[in-house]
């Protein structure tokens, strides 16, 4: 039996732990490309304890920064996008990836908070350590999602009570509200979580998978991106039930199609993944056009120093030629973009 544990509105919930005034009001956490590493003034950063490709490694401290300092540029224009919104904010139409300026138009009473990644990583790591004591096998899927396998440990008849007890323990130990999806299949458990939110539990036994999924649109299933949606829709496949009825077609698409079909039917048999070391490390920053060659050199030098620092801290020994090649490609892409937009050319 598999569990999928998802922290409700994680970034907002994290702030609410330390600021009860944020409870029961529209709240959102916004974000911008973190350019603080290029600042000439001293700043404080830390290394994340979370290992995985889904998360940043270097965390900047924004604990005491104001809305104006973080979201407003030098021309007093509001920048940034929404990364997480509370359910109170979602009722006004505020959603992830919406610009902060647009979100404030939709919900004038919205409280928008600068992100505090140190806090999020600290709480995520704390939750993982707690879950490892409560569940035999844990996989951290993202900063706010975990899979757990309790097969052979918790009987099926007791699984709801176990999940309910686990929810209460998580809240008591971390202050975080979570929703839990349960099924014999890893991906049906994850899908179930979407229908458990907010702060609920949904158990989908094997015999109920077809009835639960048959009328759901394909876009709700984890892992079906926009490109694959278009491919399915071009074959008149619009629901998960349609996928189930087109086994031959899906299997003709080889591994991706077979994998999707099996996951939708709950017969994938996929186990909880063992945590693996990162295969690569990277630092990427998006910034406005820079026309000074000296400034670009300075910024690239800073990125190189940060990558070197991460390599040393994690005992990595990447080949120098590979690292240099990646940096040169990044610069070339930026240079070509400037040329297309009619900006001043920067010579190699």
The model carries a pTM of 0.79
Quick: pLDDT tens for 265-318. Answer: 999 999 988 665 556 666 666 666 778 888 888 888 888 877 777 777 767 665
In what helix (H) or strand (E) does residue 69 lie, and over which residues does it extend? helix 67-71
Q: How many CB atoms lie within 10 A of CB 218?
A: 19
Residue 53's pLDDT is what?
43
Query: Which position has the token pair 């919900």?
Result: 107
| Residues paired with residue 148 on neighbouring β-strands, in sequence order | 3, 138
Dihedral class, residue 84 (left if φ above 0, else alpha if ψ from -120 to 50, else beta)? beta
Q: Specify the pLDDT at position 17.
A: 96
Please give the Cα distance from 72 to 77 (Å, whole number): 5
Q: What is the pLDDT of residue 289?
A: 79
The helix/strand/coil state of 101 is helix
100: which 2 tokens? 């902060």
Q: Give the span between the Cα atoms of 176 and 146, in whole angstroms.
A: 14
80: which strand partners? none
Provide the annotated active-site residues. 145
How far is Cα 10 from Cα 120, in angstroms, rounded to an integer?
Answer: 8
Q: pLDDT by residue (tens digit) across 32-51?
A: 766 666 666 665 556 665 55
The DSSP secondary-structure symbol of 199 reads S
Q: Measured between alpha carbons, how far is 236 from 197 in angstroms, rounded to an integer?
A: 30
Taking 50 as the pLDDT cut, the residues of the chain under it are 52-54, 320-348
DSSP notation for 34-53: --GGG-SS---EEE-S--ST
Is-contact 203 183, C-beta < 8 A? yes
Element (H, E) at 6: strand 2-7
- pLDDT at position 73 is 79
- CA distances for 204 relative to 3, 146, 194, angstroms: 11, 18, 12
């Amino acid at each position: 039996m598999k569990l999928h544990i998802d922290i409700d509105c994680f970034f907002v919930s994290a702030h609410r732990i330390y600021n009860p005034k944020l409870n029961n009001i529209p709240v959102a956490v916004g974000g911008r490309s973190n350019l603080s590493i290029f600042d000439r003034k001293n700043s404080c950063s830390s290394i994340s304890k979370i290992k995985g490709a889904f998360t940043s490694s270097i965390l900047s401290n924004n604990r005491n920064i104001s809305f104006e300092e973080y979201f407003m540029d030098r021309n007093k224009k509001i920048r940034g996008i929404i990364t997480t919104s509370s359910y109170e904010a979602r009722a006004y139409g505020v959603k992830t990836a919406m610009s902060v300026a647009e979100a404030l138009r939709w919900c004038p009473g919205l409280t928008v908070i600068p992100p505090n990644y140190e806090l999020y990583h600290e709480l995520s790591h704390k939750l993982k350590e707690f879950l490892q004591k409560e569940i035999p096998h844990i996989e951290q899927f993202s900063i706010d999602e975990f899979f757990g396998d309790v097969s052979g440990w918790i009987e099926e008849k007791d699984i709801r009570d176990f999940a309910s007890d686990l929810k209460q323990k998580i809240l008591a130990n971390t202050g975080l509200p979570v929703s839990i999806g349960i099924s014999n299949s890893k991906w049906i458990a994850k899908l179930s979580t979407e229908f458990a939110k907010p702060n609920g539990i949904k158990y989908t036994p094997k015999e109920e998978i077809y009835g639960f999924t048959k009328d759901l649109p394909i876009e709700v299933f984890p892992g079906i991106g926009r490109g694959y949606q278009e491919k399915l829709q071009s074959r008149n496949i619009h629901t998960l039930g349609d996928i189930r009825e087109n086994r031959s077609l899906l299997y003709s698409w080889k591994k991706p199609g077979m994998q999707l079909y099996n996951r939708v039917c709950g017969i994938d048999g996929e186990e909880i993944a063992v945590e693996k070391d990162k295969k690569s490390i990277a630092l990427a920053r998006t910034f406005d056009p820079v026309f000074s060659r000296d400034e670009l050199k300075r910024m690239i030098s800073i990125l190189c120093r940060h990558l070197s620092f991460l390599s040393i801290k994690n005992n990595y020994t990447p080949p120098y030629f590979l690292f240099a090649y990646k940096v040169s490609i990044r610069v070339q892409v930026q240079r070509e973009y400037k040329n297309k937009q009619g900006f001043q050319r920067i010579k190699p």
